[in-house]
Amino acid sequence: MQTPGPDGVGGPLNTTVNRRRLLAVAGAAGLATALGACSQPAEVANSAASKNTRAPTPGPGSTAVPAAPTEPTPSPQDNGVPASPVVGQIICRAAWGAQPARPGGVPHTPTRMTIHHTGVVLGDNRNAPARLRQHQALHQNGHGWIDIAYHVGVDRKGNMYQLRDPWLKGDTATEYDTTGHFLVLCEGNFDEETVTPEQLHGAAVAFAWAASTFPISSPEVEGHLDYAATACPGTDLYSYVSSGELTRRVAELRATGPVNLPTICGPEALELVAAIEAGG
CATH number for the domain running over 28-36+83-277: 3.40.80.10
**What pLDDT score does 192 carry?**
97
pLDDT of residue 65: 37
Q: Please state, in angstroms and rounded to a whole number, the distance separating the CA atoms of residues 106 and 112.
A: 16
Q: Over the chain (280 residues), what is each successive 10-residue block's mean pLDDT?
A: 37 34 35 47 37 39 37 40 68 98 97 97 97 97 97 98 98 95 98 97 97 95 96 98 98 91 96 96
Domain boundaries in the chain?
28-36+83-277
Q: What is the predicted pLDDT for the residue at 43?
A: 33
Contacts of 23 (CB under 8 A, 6+ apart): 130, 133, 134, 137
- In this predicted structure, what is the pLDDT of residue 204? 97
pLDDT at residue 38, rounded to an integer? 62
How far is residue 218's CA from residue 250's CA, in Å, rounded to a whole number?
12
Nearest to 227 by CA among 109, 59, 53, 110: 53
Residue-level pLDDT at 260: 92
* Contact of 173 with 143, CB cutoff 8 Å: yes
**So what's the pLDDT on residue 42?**
33
Consecutive H or E run containing 114 = strand 112-117
